Amino acid sequence: MKSSLFLPLCAILGASISFSSSAQDAAVSPDSAAAQERSSAADPSDREALVAKIAALLKDVEENGASLEKLDQIGDLYLQGGDAQRAILVFEKAIQEFGGSEELFVKVARVMQIVGGPEHAVNALALGLEKFPDSELLTYEIGKAYIGLDKPYAAISNLKKVIQLSPEKESYRYHLADAYRLQKKWEESSKIVEDLIAKDTEILEVYLMKGDLMLSQGEHRDGVRFLEDLLEEHPDSQSVKKVLVHAYQLYAYAESESGRLSRAVRSIRSALEVEPKNNESLLALANFLNQLGEYEEAETTFKSLLEENPNYLDAYVFYGRMLEALDRTQEAAAQYQKGLSLARDLGVEGAITAFRQLLRIK
């Protein structure tokens, strides 16, 4: 009896394959920057060609029998078309009937990470290690997966094993540093990072981690300067921009807490130069301006933020509080009411309670 996985060719040829970048990216290493740049779009000719390839392979399986290579290829094509669930079924069949391979278990884990979360990815890798207990690849991948589950002890145990096997592989040590970072073992993590940088590693994430470690230890100003220099070297890197914006925000909050509001404003404006429409930066700018008594610019910033992001609940809270402090109570109540209505529409219970309290509704 044939598996229901292998649908009649007429059904396959008539199926509409939905293309998506997430399913495609699941098949490649998350360490690959190129995976993040893939387009989710596909023109009709690409779709037709993909369906034709799948149909031809399914026909071959029906007529000549399955093999690990054929099933692996079919699963890859389903991933290419965005059908992660059917790809998983094909990969599972390949494992059940032909034992799979180390690479196939990794592929399954990456797809499961997308469709089911990190726990499912770890489960897939654990099954792979039962079949291939000495696999360096699977041990490395499960070490990384444990980091995603916020289980640094398990991550460290597995990553140390692969470092003993291949001490020259920088990616192994980078992820070990990340696991130590989760434990807040700054010294251990920093030592690994500095050693990698001293060897001129080409792994950009290592340099980002150095900046993050500086921020985590309260070295906000030095962290900002380091990340600014890094952005000069990698001006098109979205990852560097994201971490730098976060650094500017942390520095601004630290300056604000110390009463240096003008510096806080300058830092947030720098963040907005990197990412002009960042909600958190715009909200922080409005609040800092309000504290400085720059009410007109603060209000303009609040309004601009809400025009651009009308679902940003926090903005209604802080804008309303500013208006209330300025004795514009009716306008403040109007903002709270907007926020309450939106919170109800979105089903955000905590926000509903907060806005009811601000409106003094029992």
DSSP 317-337: HHHHHHHHHTT-HHHHHHHHH
CB 173, CB 198: distance < 8 Å: no
Q: What are the phi and psi torsion angles at 83 (to 5°)?
A: -95, 80
Give the model confidence (pLDDT) of 311-329 as tens digits. 999 999 999 999 999 999 9
Give the model confidence (pLDDT) of 247-293 as tens digits. 999 999 999 999 999 999 999 999 999 999 999 999 999 999 999 99
Q: What does the block give as tokens for 165?
A: 């096997």
Pick the closest to residue 115 from 140, 151, 91, 143 (CA basis).
Answer: 91
Average pLDDT over residues 320-349: 96
CB 153, CB 120: distance < 8 Å: no
Determine which of 15-24, 59-68, 240-249 has the lowest per-residue pLDDT on average: 15-24
Scan for tokens 């730098």, then name that residue.
244
Measured CA to CA, the distance from residue 349 to residue 118 in angstroms comes to: 27
- Angle subtended by helix axes 329-346 and 313-325, to nearest 10: 170
Say which DSSP state 16 is in: P
Measured CA to CA, the distance from residue 311 to residue 295 in angstroms comes to: 23
Q: Which has more pLDDT, 295 or 17?
A: 295
Q: Is 43 exposed, middle or buried (0-12, 13-18, 19+ CB in 10 A)?
A: exposed
Pick the closest to residue 103 from 62, 131, 80, 64 (CA basis).
Answer: 131
Pick the closest to residue 19 from 83, 90, 88 (CA basis).
Answer: 83
Domains of the chain, with CATH numbers?
A: 1-114 (no CATH), 218-295 (1.25.40.10), 310-362 (no CATH)
Average pLDDT over residues 163-183: 97
pLDDT more than 90, % of the chain: 77
- Candidate ranges 7-11, 114-118, 146-150; pick with highest mean pLDDT: 146-150
**pTM (predicted TM-score):** 0.79
